[in-house]
Amino acid sequence: MSGVTEAALVLADGTIFEGEAFGAEAPDGVSSGEVVFNTVMTGYQEVLTDPSYAGQIITFTYPHIGNYGTNAVDHESRASFCRGVIVRDPARRASNYRSDEEFVSYLKANNISGIAGLDTRRLTRHIRDLGAMPGAFGTADEATLTAAAKNEPGTDGLDLVSTVTCDAPYTVTGTGSRTIVALDFGIKTSILEQLKPLGDIIVMPASTSAADVLAQNPDGVFLSNGPGDPEPLGYIRDTISELLGQAPIFGICLGHQLLAATLGATTYKLPFGHHGGNHPVMRLRDRKVEITSQNHNYAVEEASLVDAELTHVNLNDHTVQGLACTEVPAFSVQYHPEAGPGPHDSRYLFDDFEQLMANNPLKETADA
């Protein structure tokens, strides 16, 4: 085929997939990272701009990606932090009234390298059977890609939050009466949009001290989503420890893991993570099932929960999906109630955060 540039994907275990390069040209013909798969059928632009994918190469299981193009509105962050994208059949033509740019052009403009034309079903089954693993793809020769795959550290034990958090505090003006401090571990635009009805949001870097957070006199503190392994983030756990009992806290995704770990729970890496928009979760208080959007590779060990009760559970693998602290006003969920992309079943959790702030016993004690 004319115009096709041959490329290959090599996994750390030596498995090779042949395809063709598309999107941005990778430096020296190599892109490397931890290879994971995502099961969404729409929302690819939101996925690519989710900072929680830092360090990872995203495989879309849905074969046809890019058919409705891209636009300037659906970004979830200031840039894309993923290491690349794998697609079976990228659309060359966009067909949607909201589209500003075609998918392939968007990848080039945002410096995202891709490989297409390979068997993503085979790749997904391989990851599902053997677990997410480092890999490298591009136009370089097989030996170079193999070496890059074997030298790729993946995400274990790395502080990836420091690569995606904001450099300085900034304020997002809301419509409610609250003041909320959001610690940015890789916060998404959709989350900020769901918090705006509650009040003004002061977004602060992940390294912000508890004293600086409390100096804002917040009605509540939000712990955001973010990439990678929660274990090396001791400096954030120290901050959360000092905030517990000082202000109501709501955490999502990595924020959930860090809240649990601060309380004394342990976290572990899932075999291939949860990445998609169709995960069933049961809310235990009334056994209602929510279809949720998820993006994480690590989880909280249920048996290790301390000073917290289990509130939500994943019906696919029974992993911890939510907790509520028993001693202080704080709660968290593993999934993404803002749903960007995904179903809106869980957006009530932002109302729960408002109720926690409205009924804040800490405020009553301080006023007394």
Write out pLDDT tens, residues 180-217.
999 999 999 999 999 999 999 999 999 999 999 999 99
Is residue 253 part of the annotated active site? The answer reads yes
pTM above 0.85, yes or no: yes
Catalytic residue among 20, 296, 336, 354: 336
Q: Cβ–Cβ contacts within 10 Å for residue 151, how many? A: 11
For the question of residue 166 being annotated catalytic, the response is no
Of these residues, 46, 152, 338, 354, which one is catalytic? 338
Share of the chain above pLDDT 90, in %: 96
Task: Read off the pLDDT band of 362 (50, 70, 90).
Answer: confident
For residues 59 and 86, is the Cβ–Cβ distance under 8 A? yes
Ramachandran category for residue 66: left, alpha or beta (phi over 0 → left; psi -120 to 50 → alpha): left
- The CATH code of domain 6-151 reads 3.50.30.20
Residue 1: predicted pLDDT? 39
pLDDT at 2 > cutoff 80:
no
The one catalytic residue among 253, 275, 279, 290: 253
pLDDT at 145: 98
Q: Report residue 92's pLDDT band, with 50, 70 and 90 as the boundaries.
A: confident
Q: Where are the domains of the chain?
A: 6-151, 161-367
Tell me which residue of 228, 231, 18 sits closest to 119, measured CA to CA.
18
In this structure, the number of other CB atoms found within 10 A of the CB of residue 42 comes to 14
Average pLDDT over residues 207-230: 98
The average confidence (pLDDT) of the chain is: 96
Assess whether pLDDT exceeds 90 at residue 368.
no
- Give the model confidence (pLDDT) of 129-154 as tens digits: 999 999 999 999 999 999 999 999 99
> What pLDDT does residue 365 have?
54
Fold of 161-367: Rossmann fold (3.40.50)
325 catalytic? Reply is no
The whole-number pLDDT of residue 4 equals 86
